[in-house]
Structure 1
């Protein structure tokens, strides 16, 4: 009896050892491993779902799950079946490694990157995704081998549905951690101006830069693959040809022009850059690449405002962008007399010179009486005149030093030959028209004798005395001559 128990005990031990070995062979890895996430940390939401699992009953050893198989067969235009899904999996294996030799009797579907993107766009719409609870958005912990689909949402970005393959490491059947990087494209449209302080003068040529990114367009979208960049400007004219003009549309990775700026023939304050060809392929080969649009505009008003945006598959982006604004400067000079600031003087005439230039600036008077800088106007004048309040307001100026040279004083006053120099300065970025003001005094002319007045008699008396003295001297000299 003891020998029988010994034999049964030995059999049990052997069975446990066999089961342990089988468990090692068929285990799916019950210890958690990590899918490391890169560039997902700013996403508001990250979700994941396993779409391929290990299945040793299939020819590939893998099988689709959670409805993902039909997404792939539909993308490849195959009738959905277990056999078709196996062909897709073998196609995915060969897509990843084209040196893989298929087993006898096995065929693989031909799979392209566009097919995978199309299938994953369909997968993204399936139920069953789990929201990641890791607030750092840096890892997903899983305990089964296979492929996981990962999708994310972030304001201002579109994410391409990513996949992560969790395979077996050493010793088998331990699972190996893996890493997946987010492929996302910014939907923001950023616009800047080369004028750092945002202060300009009328007639200045200002350079603007728009930055956007080629979007990821769902591979399932075959009817509306469009991408345009738009711009709207007020207070300036687009200046795309001519001296110092710029009109450039570049994509990172190439020095070639990838598009052109086309001003709306019905509204000269708008332009469009058509970049449809960059998103025409379902492979999305350009997705995420930065587009830089650089152009020039000529200032024609006191304030310039413009805003850029983009349209992707008929969806507008950048509508809430803050417009880029640039501003001009304004100077007010008040003329007064007799050192009395309340004694303002009208009709004083001046010329205005900037930064010690020898040529005066040209202006056009506006309906409100202000003089607006007009460097290109043929009917502009270099003379500015004080109004009934003794003021001259000149506008449309850039930062700098402006000297007011008086060329004609009001009646009864003398020209102040010193003139007045007034500075326009700006610290930081301007948020409004910059202004400065100052005053200039004139003095009255010295009084001159009036015709027929007392001064006339004085001059007459002096003249008679001088003449009498001269006559006396003449007669004395004659007399002395005759005596000799």
Structure 2
């Protein structure tokens, strides 16, 4: 115990033992000092003391234990699109042979799970519950390896995609309920950002849009089917809400048929075209419809035209009677 070295380089055998026999080991106090630890273990700085008694015929046993070097792992749970951390995901941890090491490990507000004191070896995480509003990665293994003398945590990245919904827009005749093809719509988020443009109703009068994240949206009609009126300022609102069984929404849009068969290039009703464009009656030849300018004039001055036509007929009769 005075620090005099008695023996050096004593090495444990396959049974983890050192047997030291020396006739010169007289009664007194001694200690072992570890100078090299087994691979994967921390070197101890302790003195392992023992005492040899006078006339003792039995061996003195000294128990020495080393702390195994362990590693750690840091799992980061993120949104697959935005990279934002996700709280509330639950994982189980397994050794590579399938032995469960830990269960119900839950990501915190930073989307992280940290596990320490892992012995060197291979492991994997399995997700048992996805964060609210996200798709569950059933059965997927997030594997990693802890190595000897590892100084920093192993980092594991686990991604989840957000659940999405869909919307079906149905376009019909306001009076008959007939499905209308050829209507064109744009789709916007509630904040006014346009997501899709030029969506056209098919022969069944519908538009299907999928992959919509939770939130509020609206359609705007940009072109009506031929022969129909539409309001380009009207918003057809709907919301996608995840968490219920039904993640598909429906939007119904109706258009009224134009009073006149004529329509402008954008499908708008030309309100002036509803006016009569007929000329003489009672068997006389009709005036030709020569365009919008004539019809507009007819609307504004229809009384004059009618009087003029009637006057012409009266004058003709008088001449015929003469």
The bucket for the TM-score relative to the shorter chain is 0.3 to 0.5
Name the structure with the higher helix share. 1
TM-score, normalised to structure 2, is 0.47
Structure with higher RCO (Cα < 8 A, 6+ apart): 1
TM-score normalised according to structure 1 size: 0.33
